[in-house]
């Protein structure tokens, strides 16, 4: 029952405020604070902090080093990946040009030696077989020589196959496998180089260092914010637009911004406004806020002089009725 009983009083108060503003709900001020876009630099690994190149309050340019994580571990991984890439590249080069002439000479010599050993083993086997027929050689001796002869023939066949493979050159399948191995090694190396580059945390845009929550030597967890920058541009007003004003404004609506502590008024323009209402925050309550619903909005300050304004100070924003309003 309490909300129902308060409804007439709220309606009456709203009417009085609108009357004080000339009956124009757009004249009701929206309150908030000046803000700047925050840039958070995040650690992607748990390597310790090796260097902090700036201090809080320093101005930084785009691409300037802010903080560096210790690269020792990643450098070792990159070196290992580079060595593997070089080995894979050498295999591709060898597969492309084929075996060197000296290796073919070695293979021919190995085949000749294996052929000679096989012939010697076969002659010895035949000699002992003849002796075994007249019971001069033992049966066990004959079995040993047969095994030796078989082994010598196998080595000869293997040497022949090795030489034939060298003479025929690399097959298409072998060359494809070598290229695939090289591509995999290069991808691993590139991944390591990317991880290495991300150990140097650079400012993505001009700004000012707002916070450095860690000290050199500390080991932040992956995903931790290790530096906060404020973009070096004119601030914007983050305000809460009363429900009575919401229907009269849209992105592009011209606004006047009054900063607490300053006499002058700054020009601005509404750049975005929420489509969902929320309850009025306690710090946004003023004598004009009679409705409980507000809409979070951002108003950009369009004057160059606004670049010097500090962040966090309270502001009041009044929208111009009919000036630059979207349909």
Q: In whole angstroms, how large is the CA radius of gyration of the chain?
A: 42
Q: What is the pLDDT of residue 286?
A: 54
Mention the CATH class of domain 2-36+233-319.
Answer: mainly beta
Q: What is the pLDDT of residue 169?
A: 63
pTM score, whole prediction: 0.58
Domain extents in the chain:
2-36+233-319, 40-70+199-230, 75-194
Token pair listed for 168: 């025929």
Cβ atoms 14, 287 nearer than 8 A:
no
User: Which residues are 256's β-sheet partners?
Assistant: 267, 318
- Write the CB contacts of 160 (distance below 8 Å, at least 6 apart in sequence): 111, 114
Give yes or no on whether 2-36+233-319 and 40-70+199-230 have one common fold. Answer: no
Q: What is the CATH number of domain 40-70+199-230?
A: 2.40.50.100
Half-sphere exposure of 159 (CA within 13 A, CB side): 20
In the chain (327 residues long), the average pLDDT of successive 10-residue segments reads 36 39 64 91 95 94 96 96 96 78 80 88 84 74 84 90 72 83 96 96 93 96 95 89 89 94 93 82 52 85 88 92 53
């Amino acid at each position: 029952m309490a909300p129902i009983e308060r409804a007439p009083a709220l309606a009456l108060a709203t009417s009085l405020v609108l009357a004080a503003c000339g009956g124009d709900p757009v004249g009701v001020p929206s309150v908030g604070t000046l803000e700047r876009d925050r840039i958070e630099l995040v650690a992607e690994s748990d390597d310790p902090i090796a260097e902090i190149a700036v201090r809080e309050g320093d101005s930084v340019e785009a691409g300037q080093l802010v903080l560096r994580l210790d690269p020792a571990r990643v450098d070792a991984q990159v070196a290992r990946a580079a060595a593997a890439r070089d080995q894979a590249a050498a295999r591709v080069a060898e597969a492309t040009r084929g075996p060197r002439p000296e290796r073919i000479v070695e293979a021919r010599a190995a085949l000749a030696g294996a052929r000679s050993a096989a012939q010697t083993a076969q002659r010895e086997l035949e000699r002992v077989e003849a002796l075994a027929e007249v019971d001069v050689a033992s049966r066990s001796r004959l079995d040993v020589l047969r095994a030796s002869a078989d082994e010598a023939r196998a080595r000869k066949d293997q040497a022949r196959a090795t030489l034939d493979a060298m003479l025929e050159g690399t097959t298409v399948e072998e060359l494809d496998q070598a290229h695939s191995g090289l591509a995999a090694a290069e991808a691993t190396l590139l991944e390591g180089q990317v991880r290495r580059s991300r150990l140097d945390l650079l400012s993505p845009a001009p700004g000012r260092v707002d916070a450095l929550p860690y000290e050199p030597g500390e080991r932040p967890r992956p995903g931790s914010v290790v530096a906060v920058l404020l973009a070096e541009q004119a601030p914007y007003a983050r305000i809460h637009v009363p429900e009575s004003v919401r229907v009269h404004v849209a992105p592009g609506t011209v606004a006047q911004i009054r900063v607490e502590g300053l006499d002058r008024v700054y020009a601005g323009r509404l750049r975005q406004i929420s489509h969902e209402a929320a309850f009025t925050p306690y710090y946004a309550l003023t004598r004009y806020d009679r409705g409980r619903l507000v809409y979070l909005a951002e108003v950009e300050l369009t004057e160059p002089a606004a670049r010097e304004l500090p962040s966090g100070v309270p502001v009041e924003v009044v929208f111009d009725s009919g000036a630059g309003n979207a349909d």
